Amino acid sequence: MNNIFLEKYNIDRVNRNKLNKHKSFVIWFTGLSGSGKSTIANIVERELYKLKVSTFILDGDNIRHGLNKDLNFSIESRKENIRRIGEVSKLFIDAGLVTLATFVSPIIKDRESVKNLVGAKNFFEIYIKTSLNKCEERDTKGLYKKARLGEIKNMTGITSPYEAPIKPDLEIDTEVMDKYASAKKVLNFIKSKL
């Protein structure tokens, strides 16, 4: 870009990681709505806080109330939603944080673009595997019911596809494990990367 230059600062990610006494990276939770991504991330963050790990949760719904409130759920808007979150994740990694990103992020290519943006060594994909039937049974936000009634268009799993990860860094089946066992498994994974 013309007339735009990257500013170099004295304090960088390496300095922040030393100060925090841990590495920074993004844990990317993906799965259908109602699979348990946000619930698990909240438990994990609480436990990391006890360990004095600097964290931040980027949640799909919360982000759409602010930064991405101008986006709808079309394929193009979903792609842009994930692109923006990738950029925010990159900033948070540079800030020295363990970032917990909870996004349906249904398209493999979009998740791969975030991985490429932040760097493969900074991106860990966690697949919260839960069947559509189980997510519909939970229907914590009432979205599946509305989608089945035709009130919501482009509902992932109903009228819009979900591409499950092929080789996630970690897979959690919330039909087999409860939220606490799931969070413990994620926490142990994160601790191995700090």
Tell me the catalytic residues: 105
Distance CA 94, CA 165 (A): 26
CA-nearest of 143, 176, 181 to 34 is: 143
Distances in whole angstroms, Cα of residue 79 to Cα of each of 28, 72, 82: 15, 11, 5
The Cα 157–Cα 133 span in angstroms is 10
Q: Which residues pair with 173 in a beta bridge?
A: 129
Reading phi first (left if > 0) and then psi (alpha if -120 to 50, else beta), residue 139 is in left
DSSP at 47 = H
Cβ count within 10 A of residue 178 = 10
Q: Which residues pair with 26 in a beta bridge?
A: 99, 123
Taking the alpha carbons at both ends of the chain, their separation in whole angstroms is: 35
